[in-house]
Amino acid sequence: MIDTTMTKRMEEATRLTRAGKLHEAMAVLQGATPEAPYRKDDAFEGNTFEGSCQVVDEEMTASRPASAGPIGSIGSESRRTDEPDAQAASFTAPGPASQAPPAGVPGGGLGVTAAWRDKWLKFRGAGVQPTHARSTTEESLPGAFTAGRFTNSVGTRDYKLYIPSGHHGQALPLVVMLHGCTQDPDDFAAGTDMNRLAEEWRCCVLYPAQPMTANSSKCWNWFKAEDQQREGGEPAIIAGMTRQVIDTHGLDASRVYVAGLSAGGAMATTLAMTYPDLFAAVGVHSGLPHGVAQSLPDALGAMQGGTGPLGGRAAQASGWASEVPAIIFHGDRDTTVHPSNADRVAAQYATARKQAKTASEREDNARVTVEQGQVANGHAYTRTTHHDAKGEPRLEQWRIQGAGHAWSGGSTQGSYTDPKGPDATGEMLRFFYRHQGGRSVN
């Protein structure tokens, strides 16, 4: 139970903060935490909390051994976070979101417990800027990029949703976009330029957000067994969020597509494997196959071009394959996720076609065309297309010459993009619109 003395101190600290008297506010608040003496050198300038301020969470800290390094590292060695998937070895699984708010929350470095920190936020009006989408659902209007939050029995994720200006209640298609590590919905939307093209193609775009509380580098946990199954883990959260958006806005449930970059690309193919009834087509950019990793060592091995059984022992035993049409992009100079993973992703989607009953069906399903191209003042590429018996594309694989670990044809307004093309966003939308509920659209 909160004592009245502490409550008064919190109220006084809040009043001083709003008056711009941060030094005085810190002194008042510090009176409640004698274990961390107040020092003027620790004072913060302006209206933000800077420096080495960190939130101290007693439950999380107590659960970590004394020999462990900072959260988000292995041992005491810090990991770089300048590559979307280079941090496979830094993946962690902290507790619920309420246990690890964004850096900069008052109380960091002062020994303030989580309960008092939350009380402080309540008195301040929770005026801390979030790391991604806002926690409250905004009204979604045509032409607006709004934020929301989805919760089901598995977990909670924030998201951003773009509705094109031409939407007036029509049952439009939906594209689900999964960002890479260290990215967020705003960054990914800017880099892929998907919202601008959504205006041209007339579709809605959903950007689920992975918080640092779920993964220290904001990577989707494609390498964990619990996040590789239907009705469980992150796939169930994303699928549930997708269905809710479809129902809320009256979108076309037969034209729902998913695409992702890097860790997001790996999760996109996992969704195609686990929810083939929900997604009509999938786009995988610089990603990995479903089920190739069950642990961190597995993840690192796969990213470096591991030569183990396709899909790993568990995935191989369960026969993972999907008939969901797929379009795959990968740069041949990707040093983060080895380019061989593109072939391994393609193999999982090709498996279903190889299971055709008759020789004639197998011959039709094996029809392949190969096209060499060159973007003006940009990259050369090879596009390999696998057609079905009707001649419709079921699998497209783009190998981009000279490209690294970046979204092909993306905008410099976002991270991990390569403006030299080809245009992955436009090509994915073209491919997606050829498919509806798993069927080709003439």
Q: What is the pLDDT of residues 119-130, one digit of tens each?
A: 333 333 333 333
- Decide: 244 and 213 in contact? Cβ < 8 Å: no
- Decide: 158 and 149 in contact? Cβ < 8 Å: yes
CA gap 215, 221 in Å, rounded = 7
366 vs 141: which has the higher pLDDT: 141
- Decide: 161 and 143 in contact? Cβ < 8 Å: no
- Looking at mean pLDDT, say which of 49-53, 327-331, 352-356 comes out highest: 327-331
- 18 pLDDT band, cuts 50/70/90, is low
Q: Residue 108: how many CB atoms within 10 A of its CB?
A: 19
Read off the DSSP letter of residue 130: P
- 143 pLDDT band, cuts 50/70/90, is confident
> What does the pLDDT average to over 84-104?
36
- 287 pLDDT band, cuts 50/70/90, is very high
Q: Is the pLDDT of residue 440 over 70?
A: no
Summary mean pLDDT of the chain: 74
> What does the pLDDT average to over 386-412?
94
pLDDT tens track for 34-86? 334 434 333 333 333 223 223 233 333 333 333 333 222 222 222 333 344 44
Q: Is 369 helix (H, G, I), strand (E, B) or coil?
A: strand
Express as a percent the part of the chain with pLDDT over 90: 54
**Per-residue model confidence (pLDDT) at position 142:** 73
Residues with Cβ within 8 Å of 265's Cβ and at least 6 positions away in sequence, in order, are: 178, 180, 259, 283, 284, 285, 286, 287, 288
CA gap 337, 353 in Å, rounded = 26
**Per-residue model confidence (pLDDT) at position 390:** 82
Kindly state the helix (H) or strand (E) to which residue 29 belongs, with its residue range: helix 22-30
Pair of tokens at residue 414: 């976002």
CA gap 268, 257 in Å, rounded = 9
Beta bridge partners of 436: 439
> What does the pLDDT average to over 96-102?
35
| Closest C-alpha among 293, 82, 266 to residue 179 | 266
CA-CA-CA-CA torsion sign (25, 26, 28, 29): positive
Beta bridge partners of 439: 436
Output the furthest CA–CA distance in the chain (Å, rounded): 83
**Per-residue model confidence (pLDDT) at position 289:** 95
**Per-residue model confidence (pLDDT) at position 420:** 97
**Per-residue model confidence (pLDDT) at position 16:** 59
> What does the pLDDT average to over 85-97?
35
Alpha helices in 142-182 (DSSP H): none
- 174 pLDDT band, cuts 50/70/90, is very high
Q: Is the pLDDT of residue 293 over 50?
A: yes
**Per-residue model confidence (pLDDT) at position 366:** 60
Q: Is the pLDDT of residue 144 over 60?
A: yes
- Which segment of 108-117, 293-302, 362-371 scores lowest on mean pLDDT? 108-117
